[in-house]
Chains A and B, each alone.
Chain A
Amino acid sequence: MSDPSEAIVNVNGETRTLRDETTVAELLVSLGHEPESVAVAVNGDFVPRAIRGKHVLRNGDQIACFKPIVGG
């Protein structure tokens, strides 16, 4: 059984344990990302910058952070 005070999530391919009620905004701070340097999706859905502080991460969530790269 997982600890109810924790959420086990996948962040960019790595498993992480977060304290319960961690928001997307808090996760980005802990990852060291400048807020405007990445875009975020949770479980394949875009999470706009404006609501990152309200979006609470849940056990099993898949979080992906994207940055610009060269492209054709």
Chain B
Amino acid sequence: MLADVPLQSRFLLGTAGYPSPQVLRKAIEASGAQVVTLGLRRQLAGTGGDNGFIDIIKASGARLLPNTAGCRTAREAVTLAHMARELLDTHWIKLEVVGDEHTLQPDPWELTDAAARLVKEGFEVFPYCTDDLVSAQRLIDAGCRILMPWGAPIGSGQGLLNPWALRTLRARLPGITLIIDAGIGVPSHATQAMELGFDAVLLNSAVAHAADPVGMARAFRLAIEAGRLGHASGLLAAQDMAIASTPVAGRPFDL
């Protein structure tokens, strides 16, 4: 379940940076994603069409999760969220409010302010946040029931830079839907996130910029399924010393 919607897939896919609309369509299919993200942009004079990407996204049948990319203040993000709701007929919003230009790290104060306002206005807010526990709790206080902490900075492909912080979030927020968003570079990063007990993974660049985006979409689909199944099946606890697995008794020739 995601925001009360039953879904079979735990893979949320971004739609930017694909070589063509046809590759995007095939990648969405291969990913099995039932939620895809998109953005909004101001129309400037002389800017052309979108080459059919938006039509492909709408025709995919996936639920749309518009974002507020580019926003630096709560006011901007709230305005953009309202526009997205009107344009795309969804109350879901991936709330992004950036506080640093180099890392694109979320601004926790503006983010929480925007989240509180949007929740009151009937939005289902998916805040893109850091892995800081107390900021996460403030977002929950604001009414969020889904959080999307970063694994690493957007597009960096570094994977889960702070597994301890992510494990702590999972342990301290057991009733919250937690989705790793950003920083995933390779399928094993997604598996690791799922093994940590996260509910889903959202990524874009690792698929869109692959040599074969369709193949990579499938690879991530399998990686996410594997990680989830591993988590649900009970992972072996790591230990410092060897524990023999073959049930021999003593040494084979010593009686």
Contact = CB atoms under 8 A, between A and B. Distances in A.
A64 B76 CA distance: 12
The 5 closest A-B pairs by CB, nearest first: A71-B39, A72-B14, A39-B83, A72-B204, A46-B82
Contacts of A39: 40, 82-84, 86-87
A43 B217 CA distance: 41
Given A39-B83, A44-B76, A48-B82, A68 B42 contact: no
Given A41-B83, A46-B83, A68 B43 contact: no
Interface stretch (B15-23, B138-146, B225-233): B15-23
B80 A66 contact: yes
Interface residues of B, number: 37
B76 to A, nearest CB: 7
Nearest to A69: B41
Given A69-B50, A70-B18, A72-B154, A13 B44 contact: yes
Interface in B40-70: 40-45, 50, 53-54, 57, 66-67, 69
8 contacts: A12-B43, A67-B43, A68-B38, A68-B84, A69-B16, A70-B14, A71-B40, A72-B154
Contacts of B17: 70, 72
A68 B66 contact: yes
B3 interface: no
Q: Is the interface of B mostly helix, strand, loop or mixed?
A: mixed
Interface of B: 14-18, 24, 37-45, 50, 53-54, 57, 66-67, 69, 75-76, 79-80, 82-84, 86-88, 154-155, 203-205
Given A38-B43, A72-B14, 17 more contacts: A38-B87, A40-B83, A44-B76, A46-B82, A46-B86, A48-B82, A65-B43, A66-B83, A68-B38, A68-B54, A68-B66, A68-B84, A69-B39, A70-B18, A71-B14, A72-B15, A72-B39
Interface of A: 12-14, 36, 38-41, 44-46, 48-49, 64-72
